[in-house]
Amino acid sequence: MTILRKFLSIGECMIEMAPNSGGAWTMGFAGDTLNTAWYARACLPERSWQVDYFTRLGTDGFSDRIIGFLSDNGIGTAWIGRDPARRPGLYLIELDDGERRFTYWRENSAARRLADDETLLERVTGAADTIYLSGITLAILAPNRRDRLLALLAQARTRGQTIAFDPNIRTALWESGEAMRDAITRAAGAATVVLPSFDDERSAFGDETMEHCARRYVEAGARDVIVKNGAGPLAFVTAEASGVFDDFAAVDPVDTTGAGDAFNGAFLAGRAAGSSVVDAIGKAQALAAQVVGHRGALMPHEQIAALS
Protein backbone atom coordinates (compact mmCIF):
# COMPACT_ATOMS: atom_id res chain seq x y z
CA MET A 1 0.00 0.00 0.00
CA THR A 2 1.31 3.45 -0.95
CA ILE A 3 1.65 5.83 1.98
CA LEU A 4 0.71 9.35 0.95
CA ARG A 5 3.11 12.10 1.89
CA LYS A 6 1.47 15.40 2.75
CA PHE A 7 2.06 18.95 1.50
CA LEU A 8 0.25 21.62 3.53
CA SER A 9 -0.08 25.28 2.56
CA ILE A 10 -1.17 27.81 5.21
CA GLY A 11 -2.62 31.21 4.38
CA GLU A 12 -5.50 33.19 2.94
CA CYS A 13 -7.71 32.28 0.00
CA MET A 14 -9.46 35.30 -1.48
CA ILE A 15 -12.07 36.07 -4.09
CA GLU A 16 -10.21 37.32 -7.18
CA MET A 17 -11.70 39.68 -9.75
CA ALA A 18 -9.50 39.88 -12.86
CA PRO A 19 -10.05 41.48 -16.29
CA ASN A 20 -10.40 39.10 -19.22
CA SER A 21 -9.16 39.80 -22.74
CA GLY A 22 -12.40 41.67 -23.53
CA GLY A 23 -12.11 43.92 -20.50
CA ALA A 24 -14.92 42.32 -18.48
CA TRP A 25 -14.37 41.18 -14.90
CA THR A 26 -14.23 37.46 -14.17
CA MET A 27 -14.36 35.91 -10.71
CA GLY A 28 -11.96 33.31 -9.40
CA PHE A 29 -10.31 32.27 -6.16
CA ALA A 30 -6.63 32.84 -5.37
CA GLY A 31 -4.09 34.09 -2.86
CA ASP A 32 -0.34 33.55 -2.69
CA THR A 33 -0.32 30.40 -0.56
CA LEU A 34 -3.32 28.92 -2.38
CA ASN A 35 -1.57 29.58 -5.68
CA THR A 36 1.50 27.69 -4.49
CA ALA A 37 -0.67 24.79 -3.31
CA TRP A 38 -2.34 24.79 -6.74
CA TYR A 39 0.95 24.49 -8.59
CA ALA A 40 2.36 21.97 -6.11
CA ARG A 41 -0.74 19.84 -6.71
CA ALA A 42 -0.19 20.03 -10.46
CA CYS A 43 3.48 19.05 -10.16
CA LEU A 44 3.38 16.40 -7.43
CA PRO A 45 2.30 12.82 -8.28
CA GLU A 46 -1.21 12.16 -6.94
CA ARG A 47 -0.38 8.55 -6.16
CA SER A 48 2.19 9.55 -3.54
CA TRP A 49 1.37 13.12 -2.42
CA GLN A 50 -1.68 14.70 -0.83
CA VAL A 51 -1.94 18.51 -0.99
CA ASP A 52 -4.02 20.27 1.67
CA TYR A 53 -4.88 23.89 2.34
CA PHE A 54 -5.30 25.38 5.80
CA THR A 55 -7.18 28.64 6.21
CA ARG A 56 -10.35 29.99 7.79
CA LEU A 57 -13.47 30.84 5.82
CA GLY A 58 -16.98 32.01 6.56
CA THR A 59 -20.24 30.08 6.41
CA ASP A 60 -21.54 32.12 3.46
CA GLY A 61 -22.12 30.97 -0.10
CA PHE A 62 -18.80 32.28 -1.42
CA SER A 63 -16.95 30.34 1.26
CA ASP A 64 -18.87 27.22 0.23
CA ARG A 65 -17.85 27.84 -3.37
CA ILE A 66 -14.20 28.13 -2.36
CA ILE A 67 -14.40 24.79 -0.53
CA GLY A 68 -15.96 23.20 -3.62
CA PHE A 69 -13.37 24.77 -5.92
CA LEU A 70 -10.48 23.41 -3.87
CA SER A 71 -11.99 19.94 -3.58
CA ASP A 72 -12.79 19.78 -7.28
CA ASN A 73 -9.14 20.53 -8.07
CA GLY A 74 -7.56 17.96 -5.79
CA ILE A 75 -6.69 20.20 -2.84
CA GLY A 76 -7.79 18.87 0.54
CA THR A 77 -10.06 21.04 2.72
CA ALA A 78 -10.36 18.96 5.90
CA TRP A 79 -8.34 21.43 7.97
CA ILE A 80 -10.27 24.56 6.93
CA GLY A 81 -12.11 26.25 9.79
CA ARG A 82 -15.39 28.14 9.40
CA ASP A 83 -16.30 31.46 11.04
CA PRO A 84 -19.98 32.48 11.09
CA ALA A 85 -19.11 36.14 11.73
CA ARG A 86 -16.59 36.68 8.91
CA ARG A 87 -16.20 36.29 5.15
CA PRO A 88 -13.40 35.75 2.61
CA GLY A 89 -11.30 38.69 1.48
CA LEU A 90 -11.61 40.18 -2.02
CA TYR A 91 -9.13 41.73 -4.46
CA LEU A 92 -9.19 43.27 -7.94
CA ILE A 93 -6.35 43.03 -10.46
CA GLU A 94 -5.51 45.89 -12.83
CA LEU A 95 -2.99 45.25 -15.61
CA ASP A 96 -0.54 47.60 -17.34
CA ASP A 97 1.61 45.88 -20.02
CA GLY A 98 1.38 42.62 -18.09
CA GLU A 99 2.31 44.13 -14.74
CA ARG A 100 -0.33 44.00 -12.04
CA ARG A 101 -1.77 46.37 -9.46
CA PHE A 102 -4.04 45.13 -6.69
CA THR A 103 -6.88 46.66 -4.72
CA TYR A 104 -7.82 44.68 -1.59
CA TRP A 105 -10.77 44.34 0.77
CA ARG A 106 -9.47 41.98 3.46
CA GLU A 107 -9.40 43.85 6.78
CA ASN A 108 -12.08 41.64 8.35
CA SER A 109 -11.47 38.40 6.48
CA ALA A 110 -12.00 35.10 8.28
CA ALA A 111 -8.43 34.07 7.43
CA ARG A 112 -7.12 36.59 9.96
CA ARG A 113 -8.38 34.16 12.63
CA LEU A 114 -6.88 30.99 11.14
CA ALA A 115 -4.46 30.54 14.07
CA ASP A 116 -6.98 31.27 16.85
CA ASP A 117 -7.80 27.60 17.55
CA GLU A 118 -4.54 26.48 19.15
CA THR A 119 -5.51 22.80 19.34
CA LEU A 120 -6.31 22.76 15.64
CA LEU A 121 -3.11 24.67 14.85
CA GLU A 122 -1.00 22.09 16.69
CA ARG A 123 -2.73 19.22 14.87
CA VAL A 124 -2.32 20.90 11.49
CA THR A 125 1.38 21.66 11.87
CA GLY A 126 2.05 18.14 13.08
CA ALA A 127 0.32 16.42 10.19
CA ALA A 128 2.38 17.31 7.10
CA ASP A 129 5.72 16.33 5.61
CA THR A 130 6.11 19.75 3.95
CA ILE A 131 4.54 22.95 5.30
CA TYR A 132 4.46 26.11 3.20
CA LEU A 133 3.54 29.64 4.29
CA SER A 134 4.33 33.22 3.35
CA GLY A 135 4.93 36.59 4.89
CA ILE A 136 1.31 37.41 4.11
CA THR A 137 0.22 34.45 6.26
CA LEU A 138 2.14 36.01 9.15
CA ALA A 139 1.14 39.61 8.46
CA ILE A 140 -2.60 39.01 8.70
CA LEU A 141 -2.36 37.35 12.13
CA ALA A 142 -2.47 39.03 15.52
CA PRO A 143 1.07 39.23 16.94
CA ASN A 144 0.50 36.60 19.66
CA ARG A 145 -1.04 34.18 17.13
CA ARG A 146 1.87 34.84 14.77
CA ASP A 147 4.31 33.99 17.55
CA ARG A 148 2.52 30.73 18.32
CA LEU A 149 2.52 29.66 14.68
CA LEU A 150 6.25 30.38 14.39
CA ALA A 151 6.96 28.37 17.53
CA LEU A 152 5.03 25.39 16.19
CA LEU A 153 6.84 25.60 12.86
CA ALA A 154 10.20 25.61 14.62
CA GLN A 155 9.13 22.47 16.48
CA ALA A 156 8.03 20.87 13.22
CA ARG A 157 11.40 21.51 11.63
CA THR A 158 13.10 19.93 14.65
CA ARG A 159 10.96 16.83 14.06
CA GLY A 160 12.29 16.61 10.51
CA GLN A 161 9.43 18.22 8.63
CA THR A 162 10.28 20.53 5.72
CA ILE A 163 9.21 24.14 6.33
CA ALA A 164 9.14 26.35 3.23
CA PHE A 165 8.70 30.13 3.52
CA ASP A 166 8.30 32.94 0.99
CA PRO A 167 8.63 36.33 2.75
CA ASN A 168 6.37 37.88 0.05
CA ILE A 169 6.78 41.31 1.61
CA ARG A 170 3.67 43.49 1.62
CA THR A 171 4.54 46.40 3.88
CA ALA A 172 0.99 47.74 4.11
CA LEU A 173 -0.21 44.58 5.87
CA TRP A 174 2.19 44.93 8.81
CA GLU A 175 1.76 46.96 11.97
CA SER A 176 5.30 48.35 11.54
CA GLY A 177 8.46 47.83 9.52
CA GLU A 178 10.26 46.60 12.62
CA ALA A 179 7.61 43.98 13.35
CA MET A 180 7.74 42.86 9.73
CA ARG A 181 11.51 42.43 9.63
CA ASP A 182 11.55 40.67 12.99
CA ALA A 183 8.80 38.18 12.09
CA ILE A 184 10.25 37.43 8.65
CA THR A 185 13.69 36.81 10.14
CA ARG A 186 12.25 34.51 12.81
CA ALA A 187 10.26 32.64 10.17
CA ALA A 188 13.44 32.13 8.15
CA GLY A 189 15.06 30.70 11.26
CA ALA A 190 12.26 28.14 11.52
CA ALA A 191 12.35 27.35 7.81
CA THR A 192 14.21 24.72 5.85
CA VAL A 193 13.72 26.57 2.54
CA VAL A 194 13.31 30.33 2.02
CA LEU A 195 12.11 31.72 -1.34
CA PRO A 196 12.43 35.53 -1.29
CA SER A 197 12.06 38.00 -4.15
CA PHE A 198 15.05 40.32 -4.51
CA ASP A 199 13.24 43.61 -5.24
CA ASP A 200 11.12 43.24 -2.10
CA GLU A 201 14.09 42.24 0.02
CA ARG A 202 16.29 45.07 -1.19
CA SER A 203 13.58 47.57 -0.31
CA ALA A 204 12.77 46.10 3.12
CA PHE A 205 16.19 44.91 4.29
CA GLY A 206 18.64 46.94 2.21
CA ASP A 207 20.33 43.95 0.56
CA GLU A 208 22.84 45.14 -2.04
CA THR A 209 22.92 41.90 -4.06
CA MET A 210 20.98 38.67 -4.35
CA GLU A 211 23.91 36.87 -2.74
CA HIS A 212 23.72 39.19 0.28
CA CYS A 213 20.03 38.41 0.56
CA ALA A 214 20.65 34.67 0.43
CA ARG A 215 23.44 34.79 3.00
CA ARG A 216 21.32 36.88 5.37
CA TYR A 217 18.64 34.18 5.40
CA VAL A 218 21.20 31.40 5.81
CA GLU A 219 22.63 33.29 8.79
CA ALA A 220 19.09 33.51 10.20
CA GLY A 221 18.92 29.71 10.17
CA ALA A 222 17.54 28.65 6.78
CA ARG A 223 19.20 25.69 5.07
CA ASP A 224 18.35 26.50 1.43
CA VAL A 225 17.63 29.94 -0.04
CA ILE A 226 16.50 30.66 -3.60
CA VAL A 227 16.38 34.40 -4.36
CA LYS A 228 13.91 35.03 -7.17
CA ASN A 229 14.48 37.98 -9.45
CA GLY A 230 11.51 38.26 -11.80
CA ALA A 231 12.59 37.40 -15.32
CA GLY A 232 16.28 37.97 -14.49
CA PRO A 233 18.98 35.62 -13.20
CA LEU A 234 18.36 34.28 -9.70
CA ALA A 235 20.78 33.31 -6.94
CA PHE A 236 20.76 30.26 -4.69
CA VAL A 237 22.65 29.16 -1.62
CA THR A 238 21.87 25.65 -0.39
CA ALA A 239 23.41 22.84 1.60
CA GLU A 240 24.50 21.12 -1.62
CA ALA A 241 25.36 23.95 -4.04
CA SER A 242 25.34 27.69 -4.60
CA GLY A 243 25.46 29.94 -7.62
CA VAL A 244 23.45 31.95 -10.13
CA PHE A 245 20.84 30.45 -12.46
CA ASP A 246 20.23 32.27 -15.76
CA ASP A 247 19.32 29.47 -18.17
CA PHE A 248 15.88 30.54 -19.34
CA ALA A 249 14.29 32.30 -22.29
CA ALA A 250 12.83 35.80 -22.23
CA VAL A 251 9.04 36.04 -22.44
CA ASP A 252 6.52 38.80 -23.12
CA PRO A 253 4.21 38.85 -20.09
CA VAL A 254 0.44 38.97 -20.36
CA ASP A 255 -0.17 38.85 -16.60
CA THR A 256 2.55 38.26 -14.00
CA THR A 257 0.02 37.39 -11.26
CA GLY A 258 0.96 34.13 -9.57
CA ALA A 259 4.27 33.61 -11.39
CA GLY A 260 6.36 33.59 -8.21
CA ASP A 261 3.84 31.30 -6.51
CA ALA A 262 4.03 28.93 -9.49
CA PHE A 263 7.81 28.94 -9.19
CA ASN A 264 7.52 28.07 -5.50
CA GLY A 265 5.09 25.21 -6.07
CA ALA A 266 7.09 23.68 -8.90
CA PHE A 267 10.41 24.09 -7.09
CA LEU A 268 9.16 22.49 -3.88
CA ALA A 269 7.54 19.67 -5.86
CA GLY A 270 10.79 19.04 -7.69
CA ARG A 271 12.79 18.93 -4.51
CA ALA A 272 10.22 16.66 -2.86
CA ALA A 273 10.56 14.29 -5.82
CA GLY A 274 14.35 14.18 -5.41
CA SER A 275 15.47 16.66 -8.09
CA SER A 276 18.72 18.55 -7.63
CA VAL A 277 18.48 22.23 -6.75
CA VAL A 278 19.47 23.30 -10.27
CA ASP A 279 17.02 20.92 -11.96
CA ALA A 280 14.21 22.02 -9.65
CA ILE A 281 14.98 25.69 -10.37
CA GLY A 282 14.96 25.04 -14.11
CA LYS A 283 11.57 23.34 -14.02
CA ALA A 284 10.14 26.01 -11.75
CA GLN A 285 11.39 28.85 -13.94
CA ALA A 286 9.98 27.16 -17.05
CA LEU A 287 6.54 26.89 -15.45
CA ALA A 288 6.62 30.49 -14.23
CA ALA A 289 7.44 31.60 -17.78
CA GLN A 290 4.27 29.88 -18.98
CA VAL A 291 2.16 31.32 -16.19
CA VAL A 292 2.98 34.93 -17.12
CA GLY A 293 1.39 34.24 -20.52
CA HIS A 294 -1.90 33.30 -18.82
CA ARG A 295 -4.46 35.71 -17.38
CA GLY A 296 -5.16 35.28 -13.68
CA ALA A 297 -3.17 33.59 -10.94
CA LEU A 298 -4.06 29.95 -11.67
CA MET A 299 -3.24 28.12 -14.88
CA PRO A 300 -5.57 25.12 -15.38
CA HIS A 301 -4.03 21.84 -14.29
CA GLU A 302 -4.61 20.25 -17.69
CA GLN A 303 -2.52 23.00 -19.33
CA ILE A 304 0.26 22.44 -16.83
CA ALA A 305 0.18 18.70 -17.48
CA ALA A 306 0.49 19.35 -21.22
CA LEU A 307 3.76 21.22 -20.62
CA SER A 308 5.53 18.19 -19.16
Quick: pLDDT tens for 143-181.
Answer: 999 999 999 999 999 999 999 999 999 999 999 999 999
Please, which residues bridge with residue 53 across strands? Answer: 9
Residue 302, number of CB atoms within 10 A of its CB: 8
* Cα pseudo-dihedral 203, 205, 206, 211, rounded to 10: -110
pLDDT value at position 1?
Answer: 52
Spatial contact of 136 and 173, defined as CB atoms under 8 Å apart = yes
- Asked whether the predicted pLDDT for residue 99 surpasses 80, the reply is no
Helix (H, G, I), strand (E, B) or coil at 132: strand
pLDDT value at position 95?
Answer: 72
pLDDT value at position 122?
Answer: 97
Active site residues: 261
Residue-by-residue DSSP string for 107-123: TTBGGGGTT--HHHHHH
Model confidence over 53-97: pLDDT tens digits?
999 999 999 999 999 999 999 999 999 999 999 999 999 988 776
pLDDT value at position 98?
Answer: 59
- 128, amino acid identity: A
Considering only residues 107 and 307, tell me which one the structure prediction assigns the higher pLDDT: 107
C-alpha–C-alpha distance, residues 30 and 242, integer Å: 32
pLDDT value at position 230?
Answer: 86
| For residues 103-107, average pLDDT | 92
pTM: 0.94
Model confidence over 218-269: pLDDT tens digits?
999 999 999 999 888 999 999 888 999 987 766 777 767 788 999 999 999 9
